């Protein structure tokens, strides 16, 4: 039932599409989404259902009576199994169970009795947006698909919010266009048979963290193994990052157990104190069937590389543009070695570790245990005692905390302990952001704070979920960039089933001042050799970032010439141009430019129709 209008020109990892109800007026709207190279998946009536671009290998579809199901992405389910689910479907709400059971990372789309259900992943790696187009409710996997059709321009207040560092939940999950609504990752979009009514329906909740490490580690191992198997089961050649860290090393050893040929890729750091190469070589020695490619450290792109040459179509600003060249640079080399997919260890820091903010609750429920651990954390991170006590005593609800941040946007950066034990890092604005942009950001924070609920009542779980969803906002853009570069990327740690298995383990056993990533270490024992499990740290790229600032000073200066943000009145272009001429200025190593650069690069990449 798939009609290919023209050569799709889209490989795995680059799927994007819009979804329509089975109506004549919806079919008329769908025609405006069909362009050369798009595919059309049809309703049984022959009207368009999905219109967009995807690779055939990513799509599984099934039809039974008035029900239709489509899975687009990575999921080890075949058409026959999906058809059995379609045949049993009587209510779109029944798909909650299916969505919570399948491994992989994918969009799930369903049609039943004229209604629609569209959902992405709880991780936020695959998102859903919707808008009214000529009165018809249209869903899409990218916000810009809808904005382009509507001829909408980005909202200045929402753009001002993106100049915050960092952007707090829920503001970073809002579309840049007021006409386009973002569906929270934990929700599915339900569109009525009338093609106009729409609502969000919650399908996912985080697990309660009650499992012991002993009980939870085998389940993490099983989920991560299944996530890697979902990518390697087709055989062929796959490549993997092998930084020497526990996350990427685990992915390499799991991939090596498959029928696929594995090529491991290591970028040594420029810093002489960086031990990544040593640990990567220790792993490679124990992977005799894996080809290990070690790149020249001095050939690695620096942070801020090629900012002026970025032409990727992004549906939101992303700080990922700072590292775009570093992330993509080795992919042509992997393609030359036959790789069809590149696996990363990204996300391991977010699911195998967890926030110390859990100790805000643990201090109240297990005070003696919590005090012992907190003394360890204080020694490890050199937390001042007074600041630690104040952070633990702060019991403001999330909405009030968020609204309160509006009054401190120009303050110095807060103490690390207050962000580690609190609701998160409060946002800041910097000297080059105009008073008008500040007023808009304050208004948005106060409006959000009036109604915002945390992702979980426990600020530790909230912090974990926020960090995961902040990470996937970057990775979803990198995945699109990688697919365009010729080798799609995949990050198995960010699959929903892996996240669930990890979050279900007690935080008291998942984060400890005495042991590095105890959950992943326990889960990988017997798969990753003990010698590789002993690493208890990770490298930092601060030297590469500092050198990038110096080397790309001219590019940063050019970026602020005819600045789009300046034209909108959101930044002081003279201040930014002066700053670009002194890249060693205090504070620049702390990534304070990232959000501003991300927004400027994004605006420059928009078509004139989307900024008018």
Q: pLDDT digit string (tens) for 521-544? A: 999 999 999 999 988 766 555 566
Q: What phi, psi does 171 have (nearest 5°)? A: -65, -30
Q: What is the mean pLDDT of residues 182-197?
A: 97
Instruction: Note the pLDDT of residue 612.
Output: 43
pLDDT of residue 275: 83
Quote the CA–CA distance of 417 and 397 in Å, as a whole number.
18
Strand order in the sheet with 128-133: 2-4, 39-42, 48-53, 16-19, 136-140, 128-133, 181-183
> Which whole number is the average pLDDT over 327-346?
95
> Which one has a higher pLDDT value, 611 or 269?
269
What integer pLDDT is reported at residue 539 of this predicted model?
Answer: 59
Cβ-based neighbour number of residue 459 at 10 Å: 26
Mean pLDDT confidence for 99-104: 97
Instruction: Return the percentage of the chain with pLDDT > 70, whole number.
Output: 94
| Per-residue pLDDT, 394 | 96
Residue 587 pLDDT > 80, yes or no? no
Tell me what percent of the residues of the chain surpass a pLDDT of 90: 82
The phi, psi pair for 234, rounded to 5°, reads: -80, -5
Q: Is the pLDDT of residue 502 over 90?
A: yes
Domain presence at residue 425: no
**Cα–Cα distance between 437 and 330 in angstroms, integer?**
38
Whether 588 has a pLDDT exceeding 80, the answer reads: no
Block residue for tokens 């970025």: 310
> Can you point out the beta strands (E) in 173-289?
181-183, 187-191, 198-202, 237-241, 261-266
Sign of CA dihedral 473, 475, 476, 477: positive
Residue 537 lies in a domain: no
Give the range of the structural domain holding residue 565, as residue numbers without chain letter.
Answer: 544-610
Whether 384 maps to a domain, the answer reads no
Half-sphere exposure of 109 (CA within 13 A, CB side): 30
Q: What residues pair up with 525 in beta bridges, in sequence order?
A: 528
> Pick from 177, 202, 227: which residue ends a domain?
202
Instruction: Give domain status of residue 360, yes or no.
Output: no
pLDDT of residue 586: 67
Q: Please name the residue ranges forming H helices in 237-329.
A: 246-256, 276-285, 324-328
Q: What is the pLDDT of residue 12?
A: 58
Please answer whether residues 33 and 16 qualify as being in contact, where contact means their C-beta atoms are separated by less than 8 angstroms.
Answer: no
- Domain end point (choices 202, 228, 248): 202
Neighbours of 272 (CB within 10 A): 8
Signed CA dihedral, 603, 607, 608, 611: sign only: negative
Q: How many helices (H) and strands (E) does the chain have?
A: 27, 18
β-bridge pairing 136-140 and 128-133: antiparallel
Distance CA 12, CA 598 (A): 26
Q: Is residue 513 part of a domain?
A: no
pLDDT (tens digit per residue) in 26-58: 999 999 999 888 999 999 999 999 999 999 989
Residue 134 counted as domain residue: yes
Is residue 114's pLDDT more than 90? yes
How far apart, in whole angstroms, are the C-alpha atoms of residue 454 and residue 262? 41
Q: How far apart are CA 535 and CA 112, in angstroms?
A: 51
How many structural domains comprise the chain?
A: 2
pLDDT tens, 292-328? 999 988 888 888 888 888 888 899 999 999 989 989 9
392-428 residue pLDDT tens: 999 999 999 999 999 999 999 999 999 999 999 999 9
pLDDT tens readout for residues 61-91: 999 999 999 999 999 999 999 999 999 999 9
In this prediction, residues 107-126 reach a mean pLDDT of 97
Residues 6+ apart with CB under 8 A from 565: 159, 163, 571, 573, 596, 599, 600, 603
User: 108: which strand partners?
Assistant: 71, 119
Report the mean per-residue pLDDT for the chain.
92
pLDDT band at 4 (very low <50, low <70, confident <90, very high): very low
> Is 445 inside any structural domain?
no
Question: Residues 6 or more apart from 171 whose CB is under 8 A from it?
Answer: 161, 164, 444, 445, 448
- DSSP annotation of 5 reads S
pLDDT of residue 2: 31
Residue 54: inside a domain, yes or no? Answer: yes
Distance CA(510)–CA(522), nearest Å, equals: 10
């Amino acid at each position: 039932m798939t009609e290919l209008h023209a050569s799709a020109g889209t490989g795995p990892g680059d799927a994007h599409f819009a979804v329509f109800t089975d109506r004549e007026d919806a079919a008329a709207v769908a025609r405006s989404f069909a362009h050369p190279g798009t595919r059309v998946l049809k309703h049984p009536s022959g009207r368009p259902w999905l219109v967009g671009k995807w690779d055939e290998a990513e799509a599984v579809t099934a039809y039974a009576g008035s029900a239709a199901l489509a899975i687009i992405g990575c999921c080890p389910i075949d058409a026959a199994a999906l058809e059995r689910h379609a045949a049993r479907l009587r209510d779109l709400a029944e798909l909650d169970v299916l969505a919570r059971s399948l491994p992989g990372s994918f969009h799930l789309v369903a049609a039943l009795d004229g209604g629609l259900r569209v959902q992405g992943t709880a991780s936020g790696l695959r998102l859903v947006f919707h808008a009214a187009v000529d009165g018809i409710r249209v869903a899409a996997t990218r916000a810009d698909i809808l904005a382009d059709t509507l001829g909408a321009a980005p909202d200045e207040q929402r753009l001002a919010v993106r100049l915050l560092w960092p952007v707090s939940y829920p503001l970073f999950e809002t579309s840049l266009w007021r006409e386009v609504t973002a569906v929270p990752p934990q929700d599915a979009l339900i569109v009525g048979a009338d093609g106009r009514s729409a609502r969000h329906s919650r399908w996912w909740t985080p697990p309660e963290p009650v499992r012991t490490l002993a009980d939870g580690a085998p389940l993490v191992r099983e989920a991560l193994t299944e996530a890697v198997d979902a990518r390697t089961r087709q055989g062929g050649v796959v490549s993997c990052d092998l930084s020497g860290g526990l996350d990427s090393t685990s992915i390499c050893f799991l991939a090596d157990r498959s029928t696929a040929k594995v090529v491991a890729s290591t970028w040594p750091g420029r810093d002489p104190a960086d031990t990544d190469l040593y640990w990567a070589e220790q792993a490679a020695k124990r992977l005799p069937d894996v080809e290990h490619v070690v790149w020249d450290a001095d050939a690695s792109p620096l942070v801020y590389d090629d900012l002026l040459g970025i032409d990727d179509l992004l549906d939101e600003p992303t700080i990922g543009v700072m590292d775009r060249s570093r992330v993509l640079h080795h992919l042509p080399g992997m393609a030359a070695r036959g790789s069809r997919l590149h696996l990363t260890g990204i996300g391991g820091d977010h699911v195998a570790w967890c926030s110390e903010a859990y100790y805000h609750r643990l201090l109240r429920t297990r005070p003696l245990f919590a005090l012992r651990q907190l003394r360890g954390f204080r020694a490890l991170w050199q937390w001042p005692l007074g600041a630690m006590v104040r952070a633990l005593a702060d019991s403001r609800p999330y909405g009030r905390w968020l609204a309160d941040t509006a009054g401190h946007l120009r303050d110095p950066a807060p103490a690390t302990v207050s962000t580690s034990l609190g609701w998160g890092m409060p946002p800041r604005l910097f000297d080059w952001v105009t008073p008008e942009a500040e007023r808009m950001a304050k208004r948005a924070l106060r409006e959000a704070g009036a109604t915002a609920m945390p992702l979980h009542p426990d600020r530790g779980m909230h912090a974990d979920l926020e960090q995961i969803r902040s990470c996937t906002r970057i990775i979803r853009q990198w995945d699109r960039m990688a697919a365009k570069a010729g080798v799609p990327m995949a990050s198995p740690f960010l699959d929903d089933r892996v996240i669930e298995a990890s979050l279900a383990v007690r935080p008291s056993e998942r984060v400890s001042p005495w042991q590095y990533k105890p959950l992943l270490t326990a889960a990988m024992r017997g798969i990753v050799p003990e010698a590789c499990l002993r690493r208890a740290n990770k490298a930092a790229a601060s030297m590469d970032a500092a050198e990038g600032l110096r080397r790309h000073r001219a590019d940063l200066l050019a970026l602020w010439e005819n600045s789009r943000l300046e034209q909108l009145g959101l930044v002081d272009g003279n201040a930014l141009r002066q700053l670009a001429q002194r890249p060693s200025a205090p504070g620049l190593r702390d990534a304070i430019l990232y959000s501003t650069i991300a927004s400027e690069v994004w605006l420059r990449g928009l078509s004139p129709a989307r900024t008018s």
